[in-house]
């Protein structure tokens, strides 16, 4: 199951790199962090594992979940900033120094 968690992490990261807009990012979030995602299914199966395996798998699953959530938030922020810059017609402000008061 640890290998499965590594596969989930790798594929989610690769897929996140291709997300280009807010709608695609929301679809990614639902597919990777939603109730029916492979990651959440691992959480559901924790109770069926032997007691000795639960701590390691639970720790790894939480680590992957925190990583994906953090990267999702970071990507969402970047997309919002890009959208704002596009709407404002991003341009640098060039100003001249104010003439000295006489």
Helix (H, G, I), strand (E, B) or coil at 91: coil
Q: Taking Cα atoms as reference points, which of 15, 6, 1, 20 lies closest to residue 64?
A: 6
- pTM of the entire predicted model: 0.79
Strand (E) or helix (H) holding 45? helix 38-45
Q: What is the pLDDT of residues 37-89, one digit of tens each?
A: 999 999 999 999 999 999 999 999 999 999 999 999 999 999 888 888 777 77
Distance CA 22, CA 34 (A): 16
Neighbour-count burial of 15, counting CB atoms closer than 10 A to its CB (0-12 exposed, 13-18 middle, 19+ buried) = middle
Spatial separation of the C-alpha atoms in residues 60 and 77, rounded to whole Å:
26
């Amino acid at each position: 199951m640890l290998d499965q968690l590594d596969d989930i992490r790798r594929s989610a990261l690769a897929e996140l790199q291709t997300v280009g807009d807010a709608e695609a990012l929301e679809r990614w979030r639902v597919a990777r962090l939603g109730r029916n995602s492979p990651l959440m299914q691992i959480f559901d199966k924790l109770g069926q594992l032997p007691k000795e395996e639960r701590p390691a798998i639970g720790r790894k699953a939480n680590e992957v979940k925190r990583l994906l959530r953090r990267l999702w938030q970071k990507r969402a922020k970047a997309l919002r900033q890009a959208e704002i810059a596009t709407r404002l017609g991003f341009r640098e402000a060039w100003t001249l120094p104010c003439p000295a008061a006489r």
